[in-house]
Structure 1
Amino acid sequence: MKKQTKIILTFLACITIIAIAFIYKLHWFGAGMKPQHAAISNPEHVVEAARDTQEVLLNPKTESPKEATQTEFSPSGNTVEDFVPGSYKIAMDTKGLLNNDELEDVVLVLQNKTDSTDLRPTLILLKQPEGGYRLYASSWLAVGAAYINGDYQQYDSEDISIDQKRNLIISTYGSGPVGNRETRYRFIDNELVFTYMETFNAGAGQHTRATYDVLNRKVTVEDTNTMKEDMPAAVSHGTLPQHPLYLFKEIDPTTVFSE
């Protein structure tokens, strides 16, 4: 075989080998890229995956805040039980003179039977002269959820009552950052109004007690230094901003003064 022919055959063989290698490489990389192309062709899956990742990184072992459900309560009833839907039970209740008549009213706090982390509605039932009760208002924000994060009990103890001055008092007590809170409501011009709040929180080296006289727009904060033997306290006073009356059925007492 002539030398020139051998060179040509060798060149063609090299071209063939290179072509085969190129086709194989193209096929291999193409196969590896298919899942990525599939993801790009359906961007909703990418967004969902990113959202799930952020939820794990930014909010580990936490739950999104609950929202008020669309549960409807009976506007009137002959007994207290008439206002309790089948999916709820009574968690707390109290009786007393709440509005401006001399008929004994009832306040209920309900609990979802199947979800201990659900918001707990508070119902104001006004006794009627002809008998039975009328639902004045309901609030999904007056009392916090019993449990958070599935199995963490938010409060160590809690209570609702109506005192002799016709104040509705809601008290919750908890260790750690949740602290203690007392809120009071009273009927003014036929509306149940937020009138007072007191909070107490204990942290590292300090206790803080704050009182909010909502009607008179006064706030007092007392900080106690527990790092010193005599535990000195510093008291400061402030004025709440001008605002229309805060109504029981609208207000979230945990955030109204957060600013």
Structure 2
Amino acid sequence: MINKALTITGVLALALCSICACRNEKKQQTIDTISIVKTKVDTVSVNTKPDNKLTYPEPDFPTSGNKIEELIPQYFDIDMEASGDLNHDGLEDMVLVLINTRDTTALRPTLVVLKVGDAYSVDAKSFAVIEPKYREDGYQNYDFEDVTID
């Protein structure tokens, strides 16, 4: 009797598996397939506008001059300046923040100028120290700006 019950249970389990398998085949036939299309993007020709780029080529900065005005390239003016003894030699050195007179949204070069005897020498320059004075929409970036030497 136990063998007969096991046989009936086995047959029922086999029938149940067969029915479920048939249902799966019907479901698989109705599923839509999605094709994947791979596209290659040419990143070289994509037009992106980098932030804070130099609109005009970097000017040639003189390395030394007898007057501060001789260190300022064409189309630039002094926007901010500070005086103090940077290298502790007893002479008054300067930090100059320049502004492009043709484009006030351009990056502002900052010059560290050391006094050497009766002349001035550009010790360092950077376009990354001070942000542009004006944004693209014409508004000033900061209400108050100042450069100091402590």
Task: Indicate the residue corresponding to 1:96 in structure 2.
Answer: 84
Amino acid at match of 1:145: P
Task: Indicate the residue corresponding to 2:121 in structure 1.
Answer: 134
CA RMSD of aligned residues (A): 2.2
Amino acid at match of 1:157: F
Q: Which runs of 4+ in 1 moved over 2 A?
A: 66-70
Q: Distance in 2 between matches of 1:150 and 1:124?
A: 30
Q: Distance in 2 between matches of 1:126 and 1:146?
A: 25
Task: Indicate the residue corresponding to 1:109 in structure 2.
Answer: 97
Give 1 or 2 for the bigger CA radius of gyration.
2
Residues 17-68 of structure 1: CA deviation (Å, up to 9, x unaligned): xxxxxxxxxxxxxxxxxxxxxxxxxxxxxx98xx57xx7xxxxxxx641235
| Residue of 29, 52, 62 corresponding to 1:66 | 52
Can you give the 5+ residue segments of structure 1 that lack an aligned partner in the other structure? 1-46, 56-62, 164-259
What are the within-5 Å matches in structure 2 for residues 1-259 of structure 1? 64-68=50-54, 69-129=57-117, 131-163=118-150
Amino acid at match of 1:159: D
**Displacement, 1:153?**
1.2
**Displacement, 1:94?**
1.0
TM-score under structure 2 length normalisation:
0.64
Structure holding more strand per residue = 1
Q: Distance in 1 between matches of 2:82 and 2:148?
A: 6
Amino acid at match of 2:94: V
Mark the CA change 1:64 to 1:150 in structure 2 (over 3 Å): closer, same or farther. Answer: farther
Q: Distance in 1 between matches of 2:149 and 2:58?
A: 28
Q: Secondary structure at the match of 1:159?
A: coil
**Displacement, 1:152?**
2.2
Relative contact order higher in (CA < 8 Å, ≥ 6 apart)? 2
Residues 147-182 of structure 1: CA deviation (Å, up to 9, x unaligned): 11241211111000112xxxxxxxxxxxxxxxxxxx
Q: How many residue pairs end up in the alignment?
A: 106
Q: Distance in 1 between matches of 2:104 and 2:52?
A: 11
Q: Secondary structure at the match of 2:70?
A: helix
- Percent identity between the two aligned chains: 40
